[in-house]
Amino acid sequence: MDFKKLIDEIPAYDHFLTVDEMDASTLKLAEDYPDLVTVTQEGTSRGGHPIYCLKIGDGPKNAFMFGCPHPNEPMGAMMLEYFSRRLCEDEALRRELGYTWYLIKSIDVDGTKLNEGWFKGPFTITNYARNFFRPVGSEQAEWTFPFTYKNYSWTTPIPETQVLMNIIDRVKPEFMYSLHNAGFGGAYWYVSGDEPSLWDGFYKAAEKQNVPLNLGEPEMVYVTQYAPACYKMTGSKDSYDYYEQSMEHPEAMMSCGTSSDDYASQYGTYTLVAELPYFFSRKIVSDTIMPFTRAEAAIKGEQVNHDQIEQIGKILDPVKPWLTEDNPFPKIVLLSVDKNDASTQAQIDYYKKTEAYQQPCKESEAFDCLDITRFYTLLSWGLSVRAINYAIEHTDIDPQLAKTALEQAQSGFDKLAAELENDIDYSVVPIRSLIGVQLESGMLVADLLRSK
């Protein structure tokens, strides 16, 4: 299929929609196209907000797309904002694609609301990190699907995950698109299975939008790479097996369920994830050889992150009694603090014993290890500041303890943010470009599965 017209007509969005704006747009679409669109409330969030699903078309195959599987990743919501209306407007497109589409713009509506502080800009590292929120793994819609393996079991999907499970069980989608995006770097893809015919299409989709490939280090060292920037989907079994290589009780490192892809695989569903960055640096595509090995860069990055997380832990420790269960901000940080030593050692052991990491380091790999690692550490600093402010507003926290902790956390945030703004020559990738890559990648997979 030729998707040129579909991609070329993506609007030049300059901000992200809030949850309320998404809901209003969803309901308006059903109002505008009552014979084409069905809106169902598939459940409610833990905060009591309705979770809406659009059903569009009547093709013989089912496709399921959901946005904000991590609530700091609203790119997919914007893609669905455009794609859902375009499906209604273009009968030829609906027929040619041949699917019944099930679309949820935001599955984690509560978490998405906690990110809305950066949705309208300015789009800088500092403003993003200051207003960033991401739930701990045990409260993520994407990672609390039931999972039992060896000495570990997870049997408590959160309500948002249950919504996803119910739809997957009901429609048994041939194609599922979990709409993630990265914070920094370049484009890369995860797929359920090796489909070499897709890779060139993915690369061209990115090239057309001037979005570079991410040729640095993979997110997880144990991921299977099919081609440059193209990887096999991972699940919690892979994590368990990885930790089992270096520790007696790998279950101690597990704290959530498995992924949507893992769950949907029981129905033969083929899943795509296209990871796309808000921020870009030319270093992410540089193959310049650095005067050190990949292992040396990776270990240094791990140590820097370890020391920063340790520092955050010391700041939060005196105010822990006031970081109550209803405070969403410290949970993922405190988990990182708790597993900091074991996680760091497991990573370092892997780098030391893996032959590929003994090779000379490319600048793209060094940038991943030494700069992007610090960017993600900044997010922990930002969450810590928000956690303390929440405690001040909602608990009877000791004023002096709160003042000291807040000053220390804010100082740590400001220092690292200033360093990153100074050290990294970055640009902001246009929302329209990212939607273009994400949408075209999805259409390529949908078309391939339809043709089969």
Q: What is the pLDDT of residues 266-301, one digit of tens each?
A: 999 999 999 999 999 989 889 999 999 999 999 999
Contacts of 355 (CB under 8 A, 6+ apart): none
Rounded to whole angstroms, the Cα distance separating 215 from 212 reads: 9
pLDDT computed for residue 217 by the predictor = 86
CA distance to 86, 125, 141, 375, 383, per residue, from 379 (Å): 35, 10, 20, 7, 6
pTM given for the model: 0.95
> Is-contact 72 13, C-beta < 8 A?
no
pLDDT, tens digit, 9 for 90 and up, residues 375-395: 999 999 999 999 999 999 999
pLDDT computed for residue 284 by the predictor = 87
Helix axis angle for 331-338 and 294-316, nearest 10°, is 120
pLDDT computed for residue 55 by the predictor = 98
Q: Which residue has the tokens 């310049």?
A: 288
Class of domain 4-281+429-451: alpha beta
CA-angle at 52, arms to 49 and 55, nearest 5°: 175
User: Which tokens belong to 306?
Assistant: 């370890």
Backbone dihedral region of 124: left (phi > 0), alpha (psi from -120 to 50 degrees) or beta? beta
* E strands present in 91-150: 99-104, 147-149
Q: Radius of gyration of the chain from Cα atoms?
A: 22
Q: Where are the CATH 1.20.120 domain residues in the chain?
A: 287-425
pLDDT tens by residue, the chain, 452 residues: 789 999 999 999 999 999 999 999 999 999 999 999 999 999 999 999 999 999 999 999 999 999 999 999 999 999 999 999 999 999 999 999 999 999 999 999 999 999 999 999 999 999 999 999 999 999 999 999 999 999 999 999 999 999 999 999 999 999 999 999 988 888 999 999 999 999 999 999 999 999 999 888 888 989 999 999 999 999 999 999 999 998 999 999 999 999 999 999 999 999 999 999 999 998 988 999 999 999 999 999 999 999 999 999 999 999 999 999 999 999 999 999 999 999 999 999 999 999 999 999 999 999 999 999 999 999 999 999 999 999 999 999 999 999 999 999 999 999 999 999 999 999 999 999 999 999 999 999 999 999 98
Rounded to whole angstroms, the Cα distance separating 119 from 131 reads: 9
Rounded to whole angstroms, the Cα distance separating 314 from 354 reads: 33
Q: Where are the CATH 3.40.630.10 domain residues in the chain?
A: 4-281+429-451
- One CATH from 1.10.540, 1.20.120, 3.30.2290, 2.60.40 for 287-425: 1.20.120
| Sign for the pseudo-dihedral over CA of 103, 256, 72, 283 | negative
Contacts of 255 (CB under 8 A, 6+ apart): 136, 137, 138, 335, 339
The three-state secondary structure class of 428 is strand
pLDDT computed for residue 100 by the predictor = 98
pLDDT computed for residue 129 by the predictor = 98
Rounded to whole angstroms, the Cα distance separating 261 from 270 reads: 8
b/e code 113-134 from CB counts within 10 Å (16+ = b): bbbbebbeeebbbbebbbbbbb
Q: Are strands 99-104 and 61-67 parallel, antiparallel or unpaired?
A: parallel
Q: Closest Cα partner for 178 from 96, 269, 113, 90? A: 269
